[in-house]
Chain A
Amino acid sequence: MRFLVGASFSRTREYAALPGLALAPSKPMSTWQIVRADERIELTGELRLLDAPRIWRRLGEAAARPGEQLDLDLHDAQLIDGAIMALLVDLRASLIAQGTRSAILGAPERIQSLVHLYRGDQPPAAAGPPPAQTPPALARFGDAVARALRHARAIVVFAGQLAGALVADVRHINWREVPTLIARAGTDGIPVVLLLDFLVGFVMAYQSTRQLQIYGVSLYVADIVGLSVTRELSPLVTAIIVAGRSGAAYAAELGTMCVSEEVDALRTMGFSPIAYLVAPRTIALAVVTPVLTLLGDVVGVGGGLVVGMTSLGITPHAYINELRTLLELSDVWTGLVKSATFGVAIALIGCRQGLATRGAARAVGRSTTATVVSCLFAIVILDTVWTVIFRGLEL
């Protein structure tokens, strides 16, 4: 066969013989034989990788019941390639491990060099360290909890470093990047936030219609949707979208910068990665997330209005009047406060995961996945904390 890149192709048949070569891929077929004779396994002919499955099987059969001594006799071997030599060396090692004396004998000069190269003429190497065992389930659970706690602590420390940079290193924050980051996280995210928040308001209202109709209080759909969307659903849904888009993007971006030593280069040039990379991203998400949440509030309430008009026969005027009666400004701003903290948490987690990336491309993927999971976890925890605080403050 002739491997060809480009124009025409023809078979090439004539080759120069290679002195001492145990590899001759130009031979059409190989013939070989493995015979057990008392304390010897005799290998005859040309033994190559292509025949390895059959050779391996035959060697296994020939080495059954090895006794006190079983040598591998290569006296009549004409050609042995590296893979087969590796199998012979392995077989000899396993025989010796079983307590059988074994040696590779009688190799012709050109094959002897291969025996030597593969250390078939030396005592077998000691077995390497066994692969790490999977720890028991309880140990894995404990390890996961400890890892989560370490991770949470690292995020808190990271937040402290960021606060320090915002106070002490404010001149070195990369302010020029903030508008770009806001545009990327905000403007580009608007369509998906609007669509999802609208659908959440729509579904919320739709789920309520039957119960409200039974009790004859259809107009309360505005209250249900208004309160749930502004206080909970819009901040949560928006934060989840921001985590999936921007949090993961920050982890991947900073992770790639770490892997390609760009972050190290920044450090060597005297930049603080916290001030230069993390602070602009945190500021951007702290601004963008509440704005997106506010837009989500409007379209979410709009989703409820659509259901009210189409399924409950409520007029827009009545719906809005009901909203104005029930909704207070605090319902909206508490949602926005939550939302701002979600944004800060997402940026911190994404950037921290990115800057902690070590290794190669795979590590970047792992950081991205870890960011999304950690962000979702953090969003729910923060939401719970804020809900308890606002209830305590009667807001």
Chain B
Amino acid sequence: MIVSACDLTIGWSRDAILLEHASFVIERGEVFGLLGRSAAGKSTLMRVMIGLEQPIAGHVAIHIDPPADVPAGRPLFGVMFQQGALFGSMTIGENVALPLTRWSKLPPPAIRAIARAKLRLVGLEAAENELPSALSGGMRKRAALARALALEPSLVFLDEPSSGLDPITSAELDRLIHTLARALGLTVVLVTHELGSIDSIVDHCIVLDSESRSIIAEGTPRQLHSDRNPHVQHFFARVPENV
């Protein structure tokens, strides 16, 4: 396993709990989906997993043993935020190169070569010298993905990569994530509520439920499609529960 969560309780405060006593394990090399409706706590769970927020109780552990000479503080995983979070004052190439300038002692030409190769991976080579504001939403997401991969992480967290994208761009991004995950042997933690993404790239997933504040289902997408829990059925059938 690469991530384990044990008896985890998260939320805004003790009076506003989103998820209680949750335990799960993420295995190496799989695309793991955090599913659920809006406000179920998916993004918050991801923020807890990457250490941006503290759990109210329990703990999450990321089991990565880096080489001995890795400098302290170097990120062990890559993160792609929902809106991309690219720095508007930097070109796309500079955004991707940023982690390398911080954490490697490579000379600038080598860093540029790596950044360019990462952009080539996501099909954005031609946009290297563009500012993020000049790119479409889908391109910004791909650039953010390239930046998340800059330090060769074995684990990446992707927060709703398909949000705000049209179905075709969304499917292209899903395919790209799937290709990179397989080719690079990545473990991907994917926060999403897009059924297309779930069916096409997710290996294993958990479903969060805001009503019961718990994980209501776990398994492969195929297993979850036939899950008997009514909330899960409504989620996969895309049917509102009060209709």
Contacts and interface: CB of A to CB of B under 8 A. Distances in A.
Contact of A1 (B66, B149, B185): B66
A170 interface: no
Contact of A82 (B57, B69, B152): B152
B120 A25 contact: no
A85 B125 CA distance: 16
Interface stretch (B15-23, B104-112, B198-206): B104-112
Interface stretch (A37-45, A114-122, A152-160, A298-306): A114-122
B39 interface: no
Contacts of B126: 128-129
Contact of A53 (B89, B105, B184): B105
A23 B67 contact: no
A132 interface: yes
Name A's interface SS: loop
Interface in B144-163: 149, 151-154
Q: Find the residue from A20, A49, A125 having the highest chain B CB count within 10 A.
A: A49
Interface string A317-331: 000000000000000
A6 B60 contact: yes
Contacts of A82: 117-118, 121, 149, 152, 184
Given A82-B149, A90-B113, A363-B133, A50 B76 contact: no
Contacts of A119: 120
A362 to B, nearest CB: 4
Contact of A3 (B28, B76, B89, B117): B76
A131 B68 contact: no
A81 B186 CA distance: 12
A359 B107 CA distance: 32
A98 B175 CA distance: 36
Interface stretch (A27-35, A200-208, A242-250): A27-35
B216 interface: no
A3 B51 contact: yes
Given A118-B121, A362-B88, A1 B67 contact: no
Interface string B65-83: 1111110000010000000
Nearest to A129: B129
B117 A5 contact: no
B166 interface: no
A21 interface: yes
Nearest to B77: A3
Contacts of A16: 27-29
B11 interface: no
A12 interface: yes
A57 to B, nearest CB: 9
24 contacts: A1-B66, A4-B60, A18-B185, A22-B184, A23-B154, A23-B186, A25-B76, A25-B152, A26-B65, A26-B66, A29-B68, A29-B69, A49-B151, A50-B69, A52-B110, A82-B184, A83-B104, A87-B113, A89-B117, A117-B121, A128-B128, A129-B126, A360-B132, A363-B88
Interface of B: 8, 27-29, 48-49, 51, 54-55, 57-70, 76, 88-89, 100, 104-107, 110, 113-114, 116-118, 120-121, 125-126, 128-129, 132-133, 149, 151-154, 179-180, 183-186
Closest 4 A-B residue pairs measured CB to CB? A6-B59, A21-B185, A86-B117, A90-B113
